[in-house]
Structure 1
């Protein structure tokens, strides 16, 4: 079933794009990540231009996040106070990311920048997740269970002024920390078409010290509004959002996120993290390989 994408200017297999959206939705429900960190590079591998892939993926992540927030909200797994602070930083970060996107696009380097960012970020996150999953699996086979260590926020967070109470997360910290975290997420969303959850979730756990029970839902709540803002900005500035591509991805992701939420309750967390780490590292290595391979068609991009 071939479908023509007007903005990307190519025909794609519609069923394959729907299945890709389903994978994104499953990841959203299981890990609290938007899934764009895999959607964008996989679309690039398929032949979709990086600018269109990044802009359209951020739009598609919005749909997956809506159902994810509703599912976790029913279980009281969303800290709306924390999410609102991060959202405020993310909206500012989105505008900053749009300026960077247009700068790199005018220089003709946006495709290289997007690919390089994916290699660095996915490689780093995948390695850390894989190490943590391996330690968890080895610890489960030991003679006795390891003592549970109460998670604390990073010392740099503790040094920030003007503390607020975030009751659902069980924190008493400065709002500047989640504000800055949201700002970085907004920039990444604009440049890479990601929701930022693959960085946001570990940061919320190990830097902010949030309760594990609200991390996934709060991450999706923040991703929801940041990707909405990113879609609006992309539509007004880069004009790279392909609505046909977005619709195909949404068909799969809306159903996939519900399945992912159920799987997250059934599977062992260490095994889930190990599987995600393996997928992330494979994508990072493929992106690195593509950066060093001579393309079939040599061309240059000049600003208008």
Structure 2
């Protein structure tokens, strides 16, 4: 069944979009991530303009993060102070990201920049995650410890000034690296249409040394607020948020996430990291291939969706 998307300005198969939402929801539920790094490329691959895909997926990520954040809040698995400090940088990064997004779109270089960003970021992060997961799996088979780094240990970051005591996470840490992490995640999310959970969670655990008991819930709060903010800014400044597309994705995503969460509980942690690394790496490679192969249509006069810059 075909449905016309008003902002994307193309007809799409509703069942295909629902299936994509369900598939990404399954992956999100299995790995505990937002799934934007997978949803945005999939939409681009099926013909949605990159600008519309980035702006519309932000609302999908926000919706999927809301229920998770509520659940973690009820279990007192969110550090409110840590989340607030992260949001200081996150909101600034989101605003800067949307401004960069708008500027690149006005120059006509947005699509190229999105593709290059995905290639660099996903290939790097995916490769590191795959290597770390493989090492953990090999250590587990040899009978060694799966995790060599322990949250709570100290590094050079803990010597920075302007420290705060985050009681829920039981850490004493400078606000500088926390704000910087939020800034980076907010910027990346606004430009690339990803929640950034697959980057944020490792940063919080291995760099900020936040205990795993509060990492997921706190990261979901940052993702929720920054994605809502990004959606609002994209809608006001670029008019690129396709509500119809976002609604279809949310319906499929909520359904798939339920099954993914059950599947994730049956797989060992190191195997999950290995699979996630492979998935991230595969998406990065797919974007790289798109950049080097010769397109079928060398020229196009079709609008890319939304109001003209």
TM-score normalised by length of structure 2: 0.92
CA distance in 1, matches of 2:21, 2:297: 29
Higher mean alpha-carbon deviation, 146-155 vs 127-136, is at 146-155
Q: Which residue of 1 aligns with 2:76?
A: 76
1:8-157 pair list within 5 angstroms: 8-145=8-145, 149-152=149-152, 155-157=155-157
Q: Which residue of 1 aligns with 2:213?
A: 213
Contact 2:136-2:147 at 8 Å conserved across structures: no
Contact 1:33-1:201 at 8 Å conserved across structures: no
Q: Which residue of 1 aligns with 2:266?
A: 266
User: What do the CA deviations read for 1:138-197 (whole angstroms, capped 9, x no partner)?
Assistant: 111114546865224673421321111112222110112111111111111111111111
Is the alpha carbon distance of 1:196 and 1:143 closer, same or farther for their aligned partners in structure 2, counting shifts above 3 Å?
A: closer
Is the alpha carbon distance of 1:128 and 1:154 closer, same or farther for their aligned partners in structure 2, counting shifts above 3 Å?
A: farther
CA distance in 2, matches of 1:71, 1:241: 27
Query: 3-state SS of the aligned residue for 2:172?
Result: strand
Q: Which residue of 2 aligns with 1:297?
A: 297
- Paired residues, what number? 304
CA distance in 1, matches of 2:91, 2:97: 10
Query: 3-state SS of the aligned residue for 1:266?
Result: coil
Higher mean alpha-carbon deviation, 67-76 vs 161-170, is at 67-76
CA distance in 2, matches of 1:99, 1:36: 20
Contact 2:21-2:253 at 8 Å conserved across structures: yes
CA distance in 2, matches of 1:147, 1:11: 48
1:152-167 pair list within 5 angstroms: 152=152, 155-167=155-167
CA distance in 1, matches of 2:262, 2:168: 23
Is the alpha carbon distance of 1:166 and 1:28 closer, same or farther for their aligned partners in structure 2, counting shifts above 3 Å?
A: farther
1:155-234 pair list within 5 angstroms: 155-234=155-234
User: What do the CA deviations read for 1:194-225 (whole angstroms, capped 9, x no partner)?
Assistant: 11112111111111111112211111111000
CA distance in 2, matches of 1:147, 1:294: 44
User: What do the CA deviations read for 1:61-82 (whole angstroms, capped 9, x no partner)?
Assistant: 0111011112333333222221
CA distance in 2, matches of 1:31, 1:134: 16
CA distance in 1, matches of 2:83, 2:23: 25
Deviating beyond 6 angstroms after TM superposition, the runs of 4 or more aligned structure 1 residues are 300-303
Higher mean alpha-carbon deviation, 152-161 vs 222-231, is at 152-161
Q: Which residue of 2 aligns with 1:288?
A: 288
Q: Which residue of 1 aligns with 2:249?
A: 249
Instruction: Give the gaps of 5 or more residues in structure 2.
Output: none
Cα RMSD, aligned residues only: 2.1
Is the alpha carbon distance of 1:26 and 1:80 closer, same or farther for their aligned partners in structure 2, counting shifts above 3 Å?
A: farther
Higher mean alpha-carbon deviation, 96-105 vs 111-120, is at 96-105
CA distance in 1, matches of 2:43, 2:211: 34
Is the alpha carbon distance of 1:32 and 1:170 closer, same or farther for their aligned partners in structure 2, counting shifts above 3 Å?
A: farther
Is the alpha carbon distance of 1:29 and 1:138 closer, same or farther for their aligned partners in structure 2, counting shifts above 3 Å?
A: same
Query: 3-state SS of the aligned residue for 2:238?
Result: coil
User: What do the CA deviations read for 1:80-119 (whole angstroms, capped 9, x no partner)?
Assistant: 2211211121111111111111111111100000000000
